[in-house]
């Protein structure tokens, strides 16, 4: 997560949406950088609202606009699947080595997913809070120019993105049956994604 105080912006780091590259490119320009631990780097709206927003309000009398990226839900799950195919995870409970993409999709839709498919939900990450804390600017991962242009304009700086966290290739062609399960069980994510212009 990056905080830009003068511009009143907080860029949330939704996992698997390319925001690590923005963090690398803009850390020196940001006023606050939450790079570690992952619970802070990838703080969802509810965690931002509970801990970071009150701190900024009490210490700085400032309210930030939240900026975030959302990825098409099956593509997002595919990115997690590929990320967990890495050799360094071999033998670890998070590894997806030896697991088909269809099985991973079904596992990710379970009420209590196994560790390799316990990846959370973009809809839950981005969920508006009862007190009104919500994402002000939500961009599609698949339209990178929109976010890039928005940040360059608001921050008045050129942004050159490094290529980071590239996952190994994998077969990501789900069966129609697995796709139907994902669409039914993660309907809130598909609805949120469809609402983005």
Mean pLDDT of the chain: 95
Q: If pLDDT is split at 50, 70 and 90, which confidence band does 141 have?
A: very high
pLDDT of residue 168: 72
pLDDT beyond 90 at 135? yes
Q: Which backbone phi and psi does 82 adopt, to 5 degrees? A: -65, -40
* Cβ burial 83-105 (10 Å sphere, 16+ → b, else e): bbbeeeeeeeeebbeebebbbbb
90: left (phi over 0), alpha (psi -120 to 50) or beta: beta
Percent of the chain with pLDDT over 70: 100
| pLDDT tens per residue, range 149-171 | 999 999 999 999 988 777 777 87
| pLDDT tens per residue, range 12-25 | 999 999 999 999 99
pLDDT of residue 171: 79
Return the closest-CA partner of residue 69 out of 153, 146, 172, 138. 138
CATH of domain 2-194: 3.40.50
Cα–Cα distance for residue pair 57/155, rounded to 1 Å: 21
pLDDT of residue 192: 98
| pLDDT tens per residue, range 9-59 | 999 999 999 999 999 999 999 999 999 999 999 999 999 999 999 999 999
Stretch (H or E) spanning 183:
helix 176-185
Angle at 52 between CA 33 and CA 43, to 5 degrees: 65
Are the C-beta atoms of residues 157 and 27 closer than 8 Å to each other? no
Are the C-beta atoms of residues 2 and 30 closer than 8 Å to each other? yes
| pLDDT tens per residue, range 80-126 | 999 999 999 999 999 999 999 999 999 999 999 999 999 999 999 99
pTM of the model as a whole: 0.94
Q: If pLDDT is split at 50, 70 and 90, which confidence band does 139 have?
A: very high
Rg of the Cα atoms in the chain: 17
pLDDT beyond 90 at 197? no
pLDDT of residue 53: 97
């Amino acid at each position: 997560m990056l905080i830009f105080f003068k511009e009143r912006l907080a860029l949330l780091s939704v996992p698997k949406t390319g925001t690590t590259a923005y963090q690398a490119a803009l850390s020196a320009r940001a006023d606050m950088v939450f790079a570690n631990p992952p619970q802070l780097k990838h703080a969802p709206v509810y965690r931002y609202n509970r801990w970071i927003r009150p701190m900024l309000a009490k210490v700085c009398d400032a309210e930030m606009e939240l900026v975030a990226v959302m990825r098409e839900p099956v593509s997002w799950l595919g990115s997690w699947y590929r990320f967990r195919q890495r050799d360094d995870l071999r033998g670890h409970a998070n590894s997806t080595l030896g697991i088909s993409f269809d099985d991973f999709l079904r596992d990710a839709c379970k009420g209590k997913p196994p560790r390799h498919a316990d990846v959370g939900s973009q809809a839950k990450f981005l969920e508006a809070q009862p007190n009104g804390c919500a994402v002000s600017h939500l961009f599609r991962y698949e339209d990178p120019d929109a976010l890039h242009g928005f940040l360059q304009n608001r921050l008045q700086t050129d942004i050159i993105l490094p290529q980071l966290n590239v996952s190994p290739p994998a077969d990501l062609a789900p069966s129609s049956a697995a796709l139907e399960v994902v669409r039914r069980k993660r309907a809130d994510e598909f609805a949120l994604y469809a609402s983005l212009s």
